[in-house]
Structure formats: C-alpha cells, structure tokens
Structure 1
Amino acid sequence: MSSKQAAQHFVLYEKNPERFAELVLHIDKLWGQSTCKVMQCSQCGFCYSYPYVAGDERFYSLAYIRSGYPKWKWEFQVTYDVLRRNLCSNGKLIEIGAGDGAFISKIAKEVLPKVNIFCTEFSEYGRHQIEILGIKCVPKDIRELSGQEYEKCADVICLFQVLEHMDGLDVLFEKMNWLLKPGGSIFIAVPNQNMIEFNELNGALLDMPPNHIGRWNRRCFETVGNKHNLSMEDYQVETSDLALMIRQFINYRFLRNCQNADSLSNKLRKIGINSYIDRTAQALGVAINAVMAAPALISLIKDKSNLGNSQWVHFVGK
C-alpha cells in the first residue's frame, strides 16, 4: 500500500485534509519511501511490514485522538488468574505499554503492593491515570532501561496488545530476559492472526502499518521463545461473544468502506453537521454494511471458535 492509503485508514482526507496531509508526510518519513508491503514468512507464518518500522509518538498523535482505554479485557483476566494463584506478594511486576492502568489497578488491589509495580506508557493521558493510582510509570521504551536496579528485577513482565506495534524484536526479547528473574514469567497478548485475515478477506479493516507491523501465531511464539531461551508454559486463543464479534465486524466493514472517497459510507461519515446528525448518518452507514455483509457473517458464525480477537502466551524464563 501507499502512504496515502495508510493515512486514509487512520484519518479521512475528506474529513480532516490538514491532518491527513501531515500523516502522509510522516509515514513517508518513517518508511523512507512512499510504499510498504506486508510479507509472510513461509516457515512460521509470521506476517510483517516491509519496511519493518514501528510507528513513533508523532505517528500516534496524528493517527489517533485518544479518548480512553478498555476497562477490562480477556487477556487481563487470564493473566490475573495465573498471578492470583502463583505470584508471591513480594513479587515485582513490569507492564510495558500499560494504557491507563486498567490491569495493574486490579493487581495493585488484590495481588501486589503498588511499590512492586512499574510501568511504561507513552500516552500522557495514560501516564497521568497510572500516577493517580500511585504507581510509577515512565514514558520510555523498555529497551532504553539500564542500571543495576532493573537487572533481574522482575518476576513478571506483561505486554498486552503491544508487541504487534514493535520492531527490533531481538533487542526487545534480550532486554526482557535481562529484566526477568530466573524462572520469571512473561505474558503477551496480541491480535488473533485468524481474525485479522478474516476481516481483510471479507471487506473489513486492513491491519495497517505502521500501526501494527507484526502478526503472530503459535508457531511464531515457539520460534522466538526457543531463540531467546524462553519456555512456552501456555497458549490460548480468545473465544469471543458472537454478538460482539458480529457488531465489531459490521463496524469494521463500514470503516473500511469509508476509506473509499466515492462510497456512500464515506459521504455519510463526513457529514458532521452536529453530533446527532453525524451519529445518525454513521448508524445508517453501519446498517447498510450489515446487509451487505450477510454472506461473510454466515462464515463468521461457522468459524467463530477460531476468530476471537486475541491470542495469549505465557513464557517462563530459564
């Protein structure tokens, strides 16, 4: 795809031409060119953008207007259940890309004291919310951490919906091994590659770089774990609520259609006269897409066991 196609995915030119133009220029700068490919490894099935370059803080400030984070997610619950059973109260936990602290808020109440939790988060809004909780949070890439106080300091490291945004994987996993105590745990959640593929093949949103630059599966995790001396303790794929999956798919189809300047969806989304009319127009667009999506929805219902939003892995350091 081109940088203009990528920018249109995040910011509609028809709705905000100035921000769209800024985003195009910045994506060009990140890629060092105006196009990007998505490749797939024939050995492990890992999909990756080429150039393999992650979005930076400037990209995310242009591409998204952050208004909040999910309150609780499936991968939070699965990880919480493991920690509740196995982690001692004097253990130490690092969460990389902690959002607004939804996960560590519960951990701090029921599993570990706040002083034993450390987070990284680039979002100013997210950091502020975490600091209100009384938990230390820094706006740093985890790979930048150094000093004796961090070496072999963590019993647990968590990355929820973060790894797919990151490049420099060897440096990342080497750093996590440096941070992790022997026998410590790493919990990772990423989007489900099967769900991404289903969306892309059925007219819903593309998994667009430079936001997501890597798509993982079990074999990918086994490969990277073996390379970095991590043992895979558990691997699970989310089983989502069918009604939620259907609503999400229909909305994603509407958003994909909005990217076509000649489409009815695009015209409905850019109305913007006032909030009520804008919401009504978008609801109409979503309803039209629901009708058009009927064949794909039948496939979604048949394959729902493989199409949860997230996959989760638990590594143990050696």
Structure 2
Amino acid sequence: MKSPVTGGNRLELITTFPTESIIKIYEDELKVDTRRFFKGVPAVELYECRDTGYRFYYPEGILGDGQFYADLNKDDVGYYSTTRWEHTYATSLIKPGQKVLEIGAGDGFFLEQLKKSNIDAIGLELNVAAIAKGEKKGLRMYNEMIEDHADGHVGEYDVVCCFQVLEHIYNVKSFLDASLKALKRGGKLIIGVPNNNPYLFKQDKWHTLNLPPHHAGLWNKRAFTELQKFYDVTPQDIIVEPLSNNKSFARRWYLAQRNYYKEKKSFLGGLISIIPAPIGKMVVKLFSPWIDGFNIVAVFTKN
C-alpha cells in the first residue's frame, strides 16, 4: 500500500469503520442504498500519510458512481450548492481574459458565474444529468476525466480549479499531476475541500457524507502545505472558512464537540453537560468568527 498523494509508504492506521454501520447511516439519514460498494469488505480502514497528514480510506475501490450522486441529488434537493464561500474567493483571483478549467463542475453554477464576468471557462463532470442541466444554460461541459483531458490540452489553462472534488478522488497523485499538466507555467491551481482537522468538525468521524463511498480522503491545512515537497508548485494561500459563515454548520460543530467530550468523560465534557444547550450555542456563535469552519481553499502557483 502507498500514499495516494505522495506514492510513499510512510503510513499509519488511524481507525476502522464496520461497513454495516456505514451502510445503516446512509440508509437512515439520506435514504441512499450503498450496500453495493462494500461487497466483500467487512470493514473500512482509515490511514494517515505521515509525510503530509492526509488521511484516506482503504480499500481504494469504495467510490461513489454516477447513480450514487444522482441519488444524493434526487428530487433536486440541492446537493450542488449555489452559495459556496470558496466560489467567491476563487472568482476574486481570476482575471478577465484568462482561460479556466473547472474539474467536477456539477451542474455548472461556478461556470455560469464566470461566464457572466466574461471569463472563458469550461467544465469537466461525470454526472451526465448535471451536464445536461449545465448545457441548457449554454455552458461548455464535457464528460471526461482530467487525466484524459490534460493529454489533449497540455499547458492550455491559466487557472485550473476544483471545488468539493478532491476529497472524492482516491488516486490524488494522478489527479494533481494531470491538473498541473493542463496548467500553464505560472498558472494557478485552486482547490476547495471540506476541512478535516483531523475529522470533519474535528471530532465527528461518523459524519455521513464524510464517509465512503462519498469521500475517499480527508484534507487539512497541513496536508496542503506539504504538497510543495512533492509537486512543482508554490503555495500562494491556504485559508479556512470561518465557522460564522454558515449557521447550520456552526450548530452541528457545537453538537459534535459536546457529544465528543461527553463520551470522553473529560472535565470539559462535564462542564458542557451542566450548561444549557441554548447558552452553549450562543457562546459558539459569539466566537465562531475565530473558529475554523467547514471549508479550506488552497491556491498554488505552478513553477
């Protein structure tokens, strides 16, 4: 076994997840059947790449397919968000006249924003239903892997970006190598992912959509910072969204901390137990601008 991000073998087993528990969580919370992904797999392991701090699930074949993502977005429930903090930040880094490639473009929301700003952009997406929606908006979208696309568009783009995509990729090295192959020298690689430090919301390792087959790996600031040692890039900025940007995530963050410390029976857990929940949530809201929130955006320049 090798690290999906470096190809090295400095790995550490962190924990295991019984697959029946994962299957039940998806069924109970999202009404999505995931049993087909776990045939012959009694438990999923979580490893950490010691060189970067990146954590990934094993075995590697447990990845969502097109039907899985269609199930998540059934009845147009809004799986593809239109209010992403990282979109606003990324747009501020892209100049008119630059050529942009978005990998995993969903139904084209970000491409549409770039089009309104007269920025030349195309998108790659594997969900054919999402592509159909984007094409109805007049967007250029293709059902193509980045590895295949890069072979025919070497050094073509000023900006290559992906949002809420890299955490779904097992072979991170292949993905990043191809992304950089399509990028001009001096161009920007912009990546937005959920913040895991070390788990989503720090302690909630059982958060449903953070588990396979939805996610293949868990990213944090350190993992992005260390990429410059293994790829020909220079970090330009690595920033974390403040918790205050999303009230519902702030509430879930509080509940995750409360449940974790209660389970550990620590002093903090005892303190939280005697504080009424409304007061605890009020305290979190007060300090949320200084608490790391749900997402990370990493910006790299290709050397």
TM-score (norm 2): 0.76
Q: Matched residues in 2 for 1:236 and 1:146: separation? A: 27
- What's 1:109 paired with? 116
Q: Matched residues in 2 for 1:36 and 1:316: separation? A: 35
Shift of 1:176: 0.9
Give the AA of the match of 1:56.
Answer: D
Q: How many residue pairs were aligned?
A: 265
Say yes or no: does 1:55 pair with 2:64.
yes
Percent of aligned positions with the same letter in both sequences? 23
Gaps of 5+ in 2: 1-16, 260-274
Say yes or no: does 1:215 pair with 2:214.
no
Alignment of 1:131-210 (within 5 A): 131-145=135-149, 147-148=151-152, 150-194=153-197, 196-200=200-204, 207-210=210-213
Bigger CA drift: 120-129 or 231-240? 120-129
8 A Cα contact 1:204 1:249, kept in partner = no
Give the AA of the match of 2:128.
Answer: E
Partner SS state of residue 12, structure 1 = helix
Give the AA of the match of 2:142.
Answer: V
Change (3 A) 1:197 1:296: farther
Partner SS state of residue 145, structure 1 = helix
Shift of 1:313: 0.7
Say yes or no: does 1:315 pair with 2:300.
yes
Change (3 A) 1:62 1:128: closer
Shift of 1:126: 1.9
Shift of 1:301: 4.7
Shift of 1:52: 3.2
1:93 to 95, 100, 111: 100
Gaps of 5+ in 1: 257-290
Q: Which has the higher strand share?
A: 2
Shift of 1:248: 4.5
8 A Cα contact 1:177 1:317, kept in partner = yes
Give the AA of the match of 1:173.
Answer: L
8 A Cα contact 2:124 2:146, kept in partner = yes
Shift of 1:170: 1.2
Deviations 1:115-151 (A, max 9, x none): x321112223321221122221112221232554x11
Deviations 1:187-240 (A, max 9, x none): 101111137143517x86572122112111222112223311011011111113
Q: Matched residues in 2 for 1:295 and 1:38: separation? A: 35
Say yes or no: does 1:6 pair with 2:22.
yes
- What's 1:276 paired with? none
Q: Matched residues in 1 for 2:51 and 2:209: separation? A: 23
Change (3 A) 1:175 1:246: closer
1:126 to 124, 127, 130: 130
Shift of 1:250: 7.6
Q: Which has the higher helix share?
A: 1
TM-score (norm 1): 0.72
Deviations 1:62-119 (A, max 9, x none): 5553533222211001111111xxx241x2111011112111111111141xxx3211
Alignment of 1:9-24 (within 5 A): 9-12=25-28, 20=33, 23-24=34-35
Q: Matched residues in 1 for 2:248 and 2:24: separation? A: 26
Deviations 1:258-307 (A, max 9, x none): xxxxxxxxxxxxxxxxxxxxxxxxxxxxxxxxx99669747745763233
8 A Cα contact 1:239 1:307, kept in partner = yes
8 A Cα contact 1:27 1:59, kept in partner = no
Give the AA of the match of 1:222.
Answer: T
8 A Cα contact 2:19 2:38, kept in partner = yes
Q: Matched residues in 1 for 2:73 and 2:109: separation? A: 20
